[in-house]
């Protein structure tokens, strides 16, 4: 990797992250009240985030179709795709913890970073808890 290639990757990553964060804010995904209303199926349910998620799925589907037509990525030497195919205990426990945290706080990691940038006070509790969870998960992961 050359320095220029690294700088281009850094710039492209920053631009993609910025676009993603702005999209999260504009779609309402960084507003915990809106997220909690989406999760409240028995109460005052707000289905608008389902449309955001469906739109994201369509964009991802199209993006992958274009990407897989290439022999290699634009900014890297090779594609790095997940190889795990099994549904195991760590996956189920992690998904459950993610869902519980999302339901309690109204944030998932991406929108929480966006809300932190907006000065949302809820992120001052959520983000340290998220970092603690990342750290704890790293301790529990088998080495080798």
**Residue-wise pLDDT tens digits, 108-139:** 888 888 888 888 888 888 889 889 988 988 88
**Distance from chain centroid for Cα 79:** 20
**Of the candidates 44, 48, 38, 143, the residue with the CA atom closest to the CA atom of residue 99:** 38
Query: Domain coordinates of the chain in residue numbers?
Result: 3-140
Q: Please, which pLDDT band fits residue 5 given cuts at 50, 70 and 90?
A: low
The pLDDT > 90 percentage for the chain reads 22
**Residue-wise pLDDT tens digits, 43-55:** 889 999 899 889 9
Alpha carbon distance 136, 97 (integer Å): 12
**Of the candidates 39, 37, 16, 29, the residue with the CA atom closest to the CA atom of residue 109:** 29
Whole-number pLDDT of residue 2: 47
Planar angle of CA 111, 115, 121, nearest 5 degrees: 130
* 73 in Cβ contact with 67 (< 8 Å): yes
**Residue-wise pLDDT tens digits, 16-39:** 999 988 988 888 888 888 888 988
Alpha carbon distance 60, 54 (integer Å): 10
Q: Look at 11 and 4; give whichever has higher pLDDT.
A: 11
Element (H, E) at 14: helix 3-27
């Amino acid at each position: 990797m050359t320095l220029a290639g690294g700088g281009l990757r850094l710039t492209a990553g920053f631009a993609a992250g910025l676009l993603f964060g702005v999209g999260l804010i504009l779609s309402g995904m960084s507003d915990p009240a809106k997220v909690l209303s989406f999760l409240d199926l028995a109460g005052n349910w707000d289905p608008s985030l389902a449309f955001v998620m469906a739109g994201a799925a369509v964009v991802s589907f199209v993006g992958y179709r274009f990407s897989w037509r290439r022999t290699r990525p634009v900014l890297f030497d090779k594609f790095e795709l997940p190889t795990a195919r099994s549904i195991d205990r760590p996956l189920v426990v992690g998904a459950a913890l993610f869902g519980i945290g999302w339901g309690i706080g109204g944030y998932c990691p991406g929108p929480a970073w966006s809300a932190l940038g907006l000065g949302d006070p809820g992120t001052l509790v959520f983000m340290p808890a998220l970092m603690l969870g990342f750290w704890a998960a790293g301790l529990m992961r088998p080495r080798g």
